[in-house]
Amino acid sequence: MTFVTNELYGDFEVEITKSEYQRTRLMLATFGFGFIVSIINYFLLDDAVTRYYGGTMNYFFVVIWIGAFIFYELFLLRQVASYLAKGTKVSTKFKVIHSQAEVILLSALLFYMVDVKDMQAFLDSPIVLLYFLFLILSVLHLDFKISLFTGLSAALQYAFIVWYGFHVADSRPENLLNVPENNFYLRAIVLILSSGAAGFVAGEVKRRVRASFDLQNAKSDMELLFGQQVSREVLQTLVEDRGTLKKQEATVLVLDIRNFSSFAEQHSPDEIMEFQNKIFGPIIDIINQHQGVVNQILGDGIMATFGTPVNNPLHVDMAFQAALKILDRVKELSTRGIIPQTKIGLGVHTGEVITGNIGNENRKQYSISGTAVIIAFRVEQLNKELGSELLITAAIREKIIPGKVTILSLGLKPLKGLGKYIEVYKVN
């Protein structure tokens, strides 16, 4: 399953176009440098190279060919730049045509020198190495098939020119090579092998680029889903897991604001919103500080989990300590007049939960479910009946150290809808 959205897919294609643009620029830079070196070599350095390859006319013919190739690449660069300016991708057909055009232009030069100029020596010239340059830069096409096809095409064309030069062309004796013909066919084989390697690198680079966009998209989805509700560490785990469904031991904390309905009836929407921000903000901070995840924010309550999606062997104690701090913080906010006098109810239970994304491609939600979640909600509801603010289950009690707080057993209590009793403890 891919995580690349339409928007990010467009960005991904733009990155591929940028890679194509960079390839053309590198081709221009390389041939531009070669053009300058050729001119300097002729006027300032030893002219042995010029004589070896047939004299001034042949030498300058190659220089002119390099200049023409540069103009071709400038034309190509302008085309790619127009795609880049429009934010559209360069098609595979476009890449194939122009990569083949580059190979054919080089093969045409070699064939001309071998057939028309009777210069078999060109089969062993540095110009042949340009085939390998094309292969190296074909990696920036980011397409295995194009790199492989470029190498196969170059190898076949070069092999044909070698065969033609040794068996058909009427080269002058002084221009013949004292090198076995098979030596050149081995170069063609190396070209094919190199094209496979280049194609592998191109495919790997493309895969990594796509993976980077997948990760960014998954991160964006998670950030949109959770906003400021989780810590960076938890968010990173969510991104890496991509919401895969799994079972985990976790602790569930459920919070309810008492008499919220009455408060809402007596205040304006702006006042209600201000109250929710002032109370939920500090509560969420406490949950984050204790490595918890806020799974639901209701109008009058919160559900949070500890120990998922990041495994945490201390999740029970973390949840318990978070509950104590939440109680203290709400009392502090009420005492200081930051919020009206407010009472809350908290229920904490630990057990096996199921976590992950639930939904379809159009709508997904990170969800926590399981009996442990239901029990936590039912325990919280018992606060109203028992006149308490924080209740925990036996599963929590046996895994924590009370410290300075008092924990009193209230005995077995029936849980609505579950058809069973569970031992509940009141925390003061």
Give the chain's length: 428
Last residue of a domain, one of 174, 190, 223: 223
Q: What percent of the chain has pLDDT over 70?
A: 86
pTM equals: 0.53
**Same domain for 154 and 67:** yes
* pLDDT tens per residue, range 298-340: 888 999 999 987 788 999 999 999 999 999 999 999 999 999 9
Contact 288, 230 (CB under 8 A): yes
Residue 230 lies in a domain: no
The total of structural domains in the chain comes to 2
Residue 219 lies in a domain: yes
Candidates 121, 101, 105, 112; CA nearest to 66 is 105
Contact 243, 356 (CB under 8 A): yes
* pLDDT tens per residue, range 149-177: 999 999 999 999 999 988 888 766 655 67
* pLDDT tens per residue, range 344-392: 999 999 999 988 776 666 666 667 889 999 999 999 999 999 999 999 9
- Mean confidence (pLDDT) of the chain: 86
**Same domain for 203 and 244:** no
**Same domain for 166 and 78:** yes
pLDDT for residue 217 = 66
**Same domain for 145 and 75:** yes
pLDDT for residue 169 = 83
* Range with the poorest average pLDDT among 121-125, 158-162, 284-288: 121-125
pLDDT for residue 180 = 85
- Per DSSP, the three-state class of 228 is coil
Residue 231 lies in a domain: no
* Range with the poorest average pLDDT among 268-272, 275-279, 299-303, 308-312: 308-312
Any residues with CB less than 8 A from the CB of 255 and at least 6 apart, and which?
Answer: 283, 301, 302, 303, 304, 326, 344, 345, 346, 380
Residue 34 lies in a domain: yes
**Same domain for 260 and 174:** no
- Chain centroid to CA 270: how far? 40
**Same domain for 243 and 218:** no
Residues 144 and 206: their CA atoms lie apart, in Å, by 9
* CATH code of 337's domain: 3.30.70.1230
Rounded to 5°, angle at Cα 272 from 269 and 377: 125
* pLDDT tens per residue, range 47-80: 777 777 778 888 889 999 999 999 999 999 999 9
Residue 229 lies in a domain: no
Provide the terminal-to-terminal Cα distance of the chain, rounded to the nearest Å: 49
**Same domain for 186 and 252:** no
**Same domain for 279 and 173:** no
* pLDDT tens per residue, range 24-56: 999 999 999 999 998 888 887 667 777 777 788
Residues 334 and 399: their CA atoms lie apart, in Å, by 31
**Same domain for 218 and 144:** yes
pLDDT for residue 9 = 46
Q: What percent of the chain has pLDDT over 90?
A: 55
Residue 19 structure tokens: 């890679």
Domain that holds residue 383: 237-427
Candidates 311, 312, 345, 353; CA nearest to 327 is 345
**Same domain for 284 and 206:** no
**Same domain for 193 and 149:** yes
**Same domain for 183 and 258:** no
Residue 232 lies in a domain: no
